[in-house]
Amino acid sequence: MDNLHTSTGQNIRPFADRPGFSFVEQDITVPLDIAAERIYNLACPASPVHYQSDPVRTVKTSVLGTINVLETARKYKSRILQASTSEIYGSPLVHPQPESYWGNVNPIGKRSCYDEGKRCAETLFYDYRRQFEVDIRVARIFNTYGPGMSFNDGRVIGNFILQALSGKDLTLYGDGSHTRSFCYVSDMVSGLINLMESDLCQPVNLGNPLEISMSRLAEEIITLTGSTSGVVYLPLPEDDPQRRNPDITLAKSDLGWTPAVALKAGLAETIRYFKKMAAGA
């Protein structure tokens, strides 16, 4: 189910003719009634460009939408997984971030519609577990990338690749020293499935603990694309965290999960995808 708010549905076309596959175009803020053994709730625009363009809608997706999917899980006794986020931790004062950290979040900033919406969604998940015994799983997802990414969602890897391929200077915010960690999409999918099929009901960080500065990431992408692009520096956006890195001790010990795809290999695959899409293939 998807409302196609941030996509065209292109990524699901290869599955359209597979036996057992069906697609429902619907917004989860509208009550739904679909029997399922497993529900993965990944609904919500996740890039700042998308979630800040309609912040009220973003909050509704995380709150009203979460209530709707939880009610469905309650009715049909489904196991349900919430795609939460590293934004739960806000601009962290603890590094790397373990699941026990409660975060440092601005409740009234431009990012708050997403950050606080996702925090409220976690609250709802655990209240439905305590009050109605709904079988829940919660994944705190750190930056993820790979083929299938949107061209215009404003995420740093997509921005850098497009700028490099077009010969434009790469845009760095601040002095380029702030860091992120990036998990390749196939690793993230395997982590979500492992968590869904586990007995672990507490929040679990899923992400790649390899930390890289934005200036180093820009250099890697310029090299991999063979671009002659330079870099330009702009002020940091409001509440943009200086460092973000997951402590994945719990995922390793209880899920037997750790990322397998190296950043360089993942970037190369992502660049190939962007080149293919730019060529209209």
Report the distance separating Cα 191 and Cα 140, nearest Å.
11
Catalytically annotated residue among 89, 114, 128, 184 = 114
Catalytic, 76? Answer no
* Helix locations, 54-174, DSSP H: 55-76, 112-132, 156-165
Question: Whose CA is closest to 236, among 167, 280, 174?
Answer: 174
DSSP state of 86: G
Cis peptide before 96 (omega within 30 of 0): yes
Tokens 């009610």 -> residue? 71
Torsion 155-157-162-166 (CA) sign: positive
Tokens 């950290």 -> residue? 101
DSSP string, 159-215: HHHHHHHTTPPEEEETTS--EEE-EEHHHHHHHHHHHHTSS--S-EEES---EEEHH
Residues classed as catalytic:
114
